[in-house]
A and B are shown apart, each in its own frame.
Chain A
Amino acid sequence: MNRIRTEQYRRLAGAAMTDPVLKKALAVLQARLGQGALDGYRELPEGPDLRRLGHAMRMHAISHLDLLHRHLARQVRANGGEIHYAADAKEAIRICLDIAKAHQVRRIVKGKSMVTEEIGLNPALEKAGLEVCETDLGEYIVQLAGESPSHIMAPAAHHNRQQIGRLFQEKLGMAYSDDPATLTLAARKALRKKFLAADMGITGCNLACAETGHIGLVSNEGNIRMATTLPKVHVAIMGMERITARMSDYAVLFRLLSRGTAGQPMAAYASFIGGPRLPDQNDGPQALHLIVLDNGRKKILADPEFREVLCCVRCGGCLNACPVYRHIGGHAYGFVYPGPIGAVLSPLLVGLERAKHLFQGETLCGACRDICPVNIDLPRMLLALRRRLKTKGRGIHRFRGAGEEAAYNAWAWTMSSAGRYRVTQHGLAIGGKWAQNGQGMIRRLPGKAGGWTSSRDLRAPAAQSFRRRQVKGK
């Protein structure tokens, strides 16, 4: 597995919040991509119904994953490809290395794939003496910098052009430039050589199709097409949940994916790959291998409360809407999946206790649910994770002391009855009259509540609640 640093969330988040480059970058990213997605949904001819349909389609597929995979296996083999099943990261890496050995592979090019980051594929391949080159521009940049990606769609979002310019100057030996077009051209030239010399292309899989055995892959850059056309071997690694039943499902799901990712009606390129090259074709790989990965997903599948998270198509939309992500960036989440999806998925994959700050650190504002192209209810699952953590016990303190427990219990008791709520409201109004200063503000609260007023004033409650005034007709 990739290095897990979820325990360091608070430290990493704190550091990120003081990074001015990151601050600016994320504000721009969210304004462009997040708003773009929401605008894109409004342009859909089917309106919000398409997202509901997308959700139903994904849940239906997840609920019958066994049937889909049985069909997929048959189809992939019939098309001349090979399919493998990996229980965990170690197995997936071993299968990949075996394939590389069998085809005498030395040089590998990679399309952007979160699942390959999840299993820590690159370091393992390099350790085995293979050259691995990321080809998505953002992934290429973070690879040169020796970092991990900080965003699903824009892996190098945390860098500005000056930093990238200096990086390219150092690593590619080119004259310094901070012009994106110049830098992109340099990357194009360098990566073109890699594509043409590579023995193997490794990609993820956006959505496989059980009906026909095709692997559906999208990109804007064209690197996926390159990696799946030029090298003699193509290896695709898929999380087991990345599958749909019928080809016609792509008409719904790829349109939603493209809009959720970047507000586009359709990504620049979509490849539907069904098998290796046929003898009468002029290009294409000689061998196609599909590796289906479990790595903790089966456990999620078995849990009805969290099964819905498997509907995710990794568009990155939730990152583009989340106010928390906006301030702390992707690396703070300490594992390959950042943002709201990471706050739910990472704990389920690496352990609730270990990654608890991820789901505790979200605000439950619901922006992620509003932007998700397939209407996944992430806030529901964030709450469920908190509940799950509490009730699992085992040395985890529910409250930080008897006082806190008493306070929460008192609050719960008060709020669970209309009569007690009204009495408390009335009491607060009376108390507020005494605690306020001449301007109607409370400057100091007693005891633990003083933590609130240490840096801000609290407006005193009105003498009469709004509801009472309405009822009284004023």
Chain B
Amino acid sequence: MANKLQSAEEFVNGLAHALGRDKAHPSQFEDIFPSDEHRQCALQNQVAHRSRKTQLALFEQLVARAGAISVDVIALASLDDLAPAIAALVDELDAKSTLVSWNHPFLTDIGLSEALAEVGAEIVLPENGKTDVNAAQCQTWRRAAARAAMGITGADYCIAETATLVMRNRPGQPRSASLLPEVHAAVIGLDQIIASPAELFALMGSPAAIESPSVTNCMTWVSSNSKTGDIEGELVPGVHGPGRMVIYVITGPDYPTRPHERMHESV
């Protein structure tokens, strides 16, 4: 380890020398690359004081943006409508019998297993991460996700400008749930829709986020289904990741707000 540390110093000094400095940069990181506190605050306030009317306008923007890239955005009045909607989607897909899902406040106690059983499907959940997950459990999960016709997740935010679902790594919420199955269904609340990537980073840098790990060891942005144009420029969906994406948005006022913050409180 000591060897490598020296190597980093050597490398950095080499760069300093190339830039015409005698030794590594004397200044602090924050001096040369100041964070724009003022703008961050303004954006945080913008989100915090957003009216329901503006929130619905963002929802419309999301629908338009997603529509342009063939991602379905479906409004549901409340969480009670979610289980039937997912079951209907599974039925429509004539899917194989296994689904995988996150451990997520939106997805528990909504009768999802029962609704799916009625259309001949079952759901597999990952370990919830209250204790360490061992290799065998990881393998079990991986096999289930690789077999599954659909993966159901939540998200932390959804960026309207780019139709981007922002998902941060958490116990019980594996990234492969939105990656291995052929269909990815995500559930978010209306107030999780934000305007732009700039707003996202402002929110993640906020004091409230400091208690929880702000970016985590893996943040994933999903902005469309998997696709390629590598053969003669013809767009083909579902290369490696899901070929189809559906985003359910709970637009009614009665649902648990900010689920990711709540999840961290309970850990």
- List residues of chain A with CB under 8 Å of any chain B CB: 25, 28-29, 32, 45, 60, 63-71, 73, 79-80, 82-85, 135-138, 141, 154-156, 160-161, 164, 180-181, 183-185, 187-188, 191-192, 195-196, 210-212, 214, 220-223, 225-226, 229-230, 240, 245-248, 250-251, 254-255, 262, 265-284, 292, 294, 298-299, 301-302
Contacts and interface: CB of A to CB of B under 8 A. Distances in A.
A221 B228 contact: yes
Contacts of B33: 60, 64, 67-68, 210-211, 245-246
Contact of A268 (B19, B21, B222): B222
B198 A220 contact: no
Central interface residue in B12, B230, B234, by most chain A CB within 10 Å: B230
Contact of A135 (B127, B137, B240): B240
Given A220-B224, A265-B223, A273-B217, 4 more contacts: A184-B228, A223-B239, A225-B240, A280-B133
A45 B231 CA distance: 32
A181 B239 CA distance: 9
B239 to A, nearest CB: 4
Contacts of A83: 4, 8
A73 B24 CA distance: 14
A201 B35 CA distance: 33
A220 B18 contact: no
Interface in B182-238: 196-198, 200-202, 204-205, 215-234, 236, 238
A137 B230 contact: yes
Interface string B83-118: 000000000000000000000000000000000000
Given A220-B226, A223-B239, A248-B198, A302 B11 contact: no
A283 B142 contact: yes
Given A64-B32, A272-B215, A247 B176 contact: no
Interface residues of B, number: 83
Contacts of B225: 268
Contacts of A298: 14-15, 18
B227 A268 contact: yes
A222 B226 contact: yes
A251 B200 contact: yes
Interface stretch (B48-56, B73-81, B167-175, B256-264): B167-175
Q: Is the interface of A mostly helix, strand, loop or mixed?
A: mixed
A225 B175 contact: yes
B141 interface: yes
Contacts of B131: 280
B185 to A, nearest CB: 16
B196 A251 contact: yes
Nearest to B20: A302
A21 to B, nearest CB: 10
Contact of B32 (A67, A138, A195, A284): A67
Contacts of A281: 129, 133, 169-171, 174, 217
B220 A188 contact: no
B36 A222 contact: no
Interface string B1-23: 00010011011111111111100
B231 A302 contact: no
Nearest to B219: A272
A292 B10 CA distance: 13
A246 B236 contact: no
B161 interface: yes
Interface in B113-128: 126-127
B29 A71 contact: yes
A379 B172 CA distance: 52
A273 B218 contact: yes
B230 A154 contact: yes
B239 A137 contact: yes
B44 interface: no
B228 A283 contact: no
Contact of A275 (B29, B32, B217, B230): B217
A269 B241 contact: yes
A85 to B, nearest CB: 4
A274 B25 contact: no
A250 B162 CA distance: 13
- Most central of A29, A45, A283, A298 by chain B CB within 10 Å: A283
B266 interface: no
B222 A269 contact: yes
7 contacts: A71-B29, A211-B33, A269-B222, A280-B130, A282-B171, A294-B11, A302-B18
B11 A69 contact: yes
A254 B171 contact: no
B179 interface: yes
A240 B4 CA distance: 17
A183 B236 CA distance: 10
B138 interface: yes
B171 A268 contact: no
Contact of B15 (A66, A225, A265, A273): A66
A248 B203 CA distance: 11
Contacts of B215: 212, 214, 247, 272, 274
B204 to A, nearest CB: 7
A266 B163 CA distance: 9
B43 to A, nearest CB: 10
A73 B161 CA distance: 33
B132 interface: yes
